[in-house]
Amino acid sequence: MKQILQNISTGETLLADVPAPSPQEGSCLIATSKSLVSVGTERMLIEFGKASWLKKAKAQPDKVQQVLEKAKTDGLTETFRSVKSKLDQPLPLGYCNVGTIIDPQDTGFAIGQRVISNGHHAEVVCVKRNLIAAIPDNVSDDMASFTVIGSIALQGIRLIKPTLGETIVVTGLGLIGLLSVQILRANGCRVMAIDVDSSKCELARQFGADTVDLSKGEDALRTALAFSQGNGVDGVLITASSKGSDIINQSAKMCRKRGRIVLVGVVGLDLQRANFYEKELTFQVSCSYGPGRYDDDYEKKGIDYPLPYVRWTEQRNLEAILDLMAIGAINTCALITHYFNFSDAPTAYTALGDRDALGIILSYEGNPKNELIKQNMQLSTSLKLERNGGSLIFVGAGNYASRVLIPAFINAGAKMETLVTATGVSAFHYGTKNKFVYATTDYDDALTGNSDTVVIATRHNLHADQIIAALNAGKNVFVEKPLALNHDQIDLIEQAYSASQLNRLMVGFNRRFSPHIQKMKELLNSSKAPKTIMMVMNAGAIDANHWTQDQFIGGGRIVGEACHYIDLMRFIADSNIKSYNAIKMGSGLNADVNDDKSIITIEFDNGSIGSIHYFANGSKSFPKERIEVFCDGTTLQLDNFRKMTGYGFKGFKSMKLWKQDKGQTQCCKAFMKSIHDGTPSPIDIDEILEVARVTIDIAESLRS
């Protein structure tokens, strides 16, 4: 299928052939008929992409600070690679989609039903149930394409709480502003609209508003005073875009005492306190489509808010806009300024430079359904046969997979056959970039191919099922940590591995393969004495709503990340785990909801002991990782996988690298070598299962 993508690094807009998205639980597959280009948002994204690195940095000073902090701990080389990778990721454009359901899954919608969604500009989109709404029969596809934009306007209006007969000012007459005028008029309000464009002011007048045309030198404050019969207006809805703060302060001056101001657009917020203080004005910023926005439980898991308690959600706002369209309260015909076939999308984006551009509609040709939902595509004609080792099915192309794992396996001599992702965009982009032969969104189909090895780098809740499917298909498996999220999954994986006989199963515990750890093992092997090990992981805070913190998706940070250190400590101790204990910060009512501020102690059969200090509440400028090992009158201290210092060793004082090396490349090379040579996996399966089970036990003890 075809989809519009933008290169964030260059600003180039591309109509790409990508695999159709795979069906997902709680989502619908929708064949698109129309989509609306959001002139303001998409123009801003393209301009940002075309800007120089310096301008990009000036536009996002908070991101620059994050980059500087990363450079302090990880070094300039690693930081540069990370930033470059981030900018290299393709950005799907669009969020105003109209189409027909072709696969409803378990959403309650029906095949063939016309719907709107916030899907991208693509021939097929996959959208979660709470971001979809059914289109009334008397609402055309063209009209329905304005629904999402209309819901943004509606949410701002809901926050301003207008009542019948009130005077409301709308400042900024783009699509959102002009739809706001119509919704406010339908609500029984008197509306005054302000803009610098005479043609947009004329449209607002057609929709029943009084106007102030700033291009003609008309005085907004004086007009607002007269419009409100000398009282000041009841509220101001700001739908404009401006870097200055004149608009917000002008809005305050034209309001009556205890008036309301709601910001939907983007303007400077250098507020003049006196205006707000003297009138006791209310100011609020509107968040997109309404309640549920950016809430993963609502948007991704499909958990609705009960109507008696949250009357208007994202989805119910979408439905309300469609109802207004159905009764003729919203006119979108006058807002359509450009009409393009989807195949001419690159030309359509040149229309963003047109000063008069408002509604730019893309119309999709009726391709055969079986072509639209094709999940597989060939990217190149043959494998690079000069490479040694197995051929790979690579599943997942997130930031770590695309930036670190894929290059590491290429460096290890793997043949990159098939790249599998859920949406298809990443499969196309990184598949092309890394010379994969195929890109697909169909994992089961990929397993039927000739590749002998599967690399799994997906979200943690998917690992177990994907491992078992790969083992059952007779494939070797390399899975990025963790192995699984619970004991039942581990048991099923062990059964599948036992039944698979010769297939290799390895978890990407790369730190044990790093140059520093290998040197550490060499130095420590001279003594059989027990070791005392202390590990500090300055993990950094992650939002509580991030998927890695979700027990059922990411497993929490102990399962998802600290497992690295449990494995590494076992490797250094060179012994089975005998016992363990863990505590986290706080207790009782003060207990932390997450497990990312914890201390884990481990005792080994050979007498070694160790502690893992996994903390998310430290300074970002402090090194992320420190390991200290005390053994038989010697000490080793490793800082951030860049410098290791030895104390008490003859002939060894320090080992320093120019850049951080956590062993990813060496880990992948060792795994691929085992396949090529027909030798066992570099990490014994018993160690993998032991670490997985202990990690689960520790995480569960912290939750209890």
Q: pLDDT tens digits, residue range 93-138? A: 999 999 999 999 999 999 999 999 999 999 999 999 999 999 999 9
User: Which residues contact residue 237 at a Cβ distance below 8 angstroms, ignoring those fewer than 6 apart?
Assistant: 156, 157, 160, 168, 169, 170, 171, 177, 180, 184, 262, 264
What is the rounded average pLDDT of the residues 207-229?
Answer: 96
| pLDDT above 90: residue 417 | yes
Q: Residue 129 burial by CB count (10 A; 0-12/13-18/19+): exposed, middle or buried?
A: buried
Count of CB atoms within 10 A of residue 223's CB?
A: 17
pLDDT at 621: 83
pLDDT at 361: 96
Give residue 50's pLDDT band: very low, low, confident or very high (50, 70, 90): low
| pLDDT above 90: residue 214 | yes
The backbone torsions φ and ψ at residue 638, rounded to the nearest 5 degrees and listed phi first, read -115, 125
| pLDDT above 80: residue 462 | yes
Q: What is the distance between the alpha carbons of residues 680 and 121, in angstroms, rounded to a whole number?
A: 47
Q: What is the distance between the alpha carbons of residues 16 and 382, in angstroms, rounded to a whole number?
A: 21
Q: What is the CATH number of domain 376-506?
A: 3.40.50.720
Give residue 681's pLDDT band: very low, low, confident or very high (50, 70, 90): very high
Which pTM value belongs to this model? Answer: 0.87
Instruction: Indicate if 376-506 has the same CATH topology as 2-146+332-369.
Output: no
User: Considering the chain, what percentage of its residues have pLDDT values greater than 90?
Assistant: 78
Residue with token string 């996988």: 641
149-285 fold: Rossmann fold (3.40.50)
| pLDDT above 90: residue 380 | no
pLDDT at 387: 38
Q: What is the CATH number of domain 511-703?
A: 3.30.360.10
| pLDDT above 60: residue 589 | no
Tokens of 685: 């399966």
Give residue 69's pLDDT band: very low, low, confident or very high (50, 70, 90): low
Length of the chain: 704
Per-residue pLDDT tens for 238-269? 999 999 999 999 999 999 999 999 999 999 99
Using alpha carbons, list the distances in angstroms from residue 209 to 105, 190, 366: 44, 7, 40
pLDDT at 351: 87
Most confident of the following: 51-60, 186-195, 536-545 = 186-195
Count of CB atoms within 10 A of residue 28's CB?
A: 30
* Residue 211 φ/ψ region, left for φ over 0, alpha for ψ in the -120 to 50 degree band, beta for the rest: beta
Q: Which residues is 115 bridged to in the sheet? A: 99, 134
Q: What is the distance between the alpha carbons of residues 460 and 496, in angstroms, rounded to a whole number?
A: 18
Q: Residue 191 burial by CB count (10 A; 0-12/13-18/19+): exposed, middle or buried?
A: buried
Q: Mean pLDDT for the chain?
A: 91
**Helical spans, DSSP H, in 412-548:** 425-433, 443-446, 463-472, 487-500, 515-524
pLDDT at 586: 78
> Where exactly are the structural domains of the chain?
2-146+332-369, 149-285, 376-506, 511-703
pLDDT at 41: 82
Give residue 388's pLDDT band: very low, low, confident or very high (50, 70, 90): very low
CATH tag for 2-146+332-369 (out of 1.10.3720.10, 3.40.640.10, 1.10.10.60, 3.90.180.10): 3.90.180.10
Q: Is residue 668 within a helix (H) or strand (E), and if so which, with residue range?
A: helix 664-677
User: Which residues contact residue 460 at a Cβ distance below 8 angstroms, ignoring those fewer than 6 apart?
Assistant: 482, 485, 548, 553, 554, 555, 559, 560
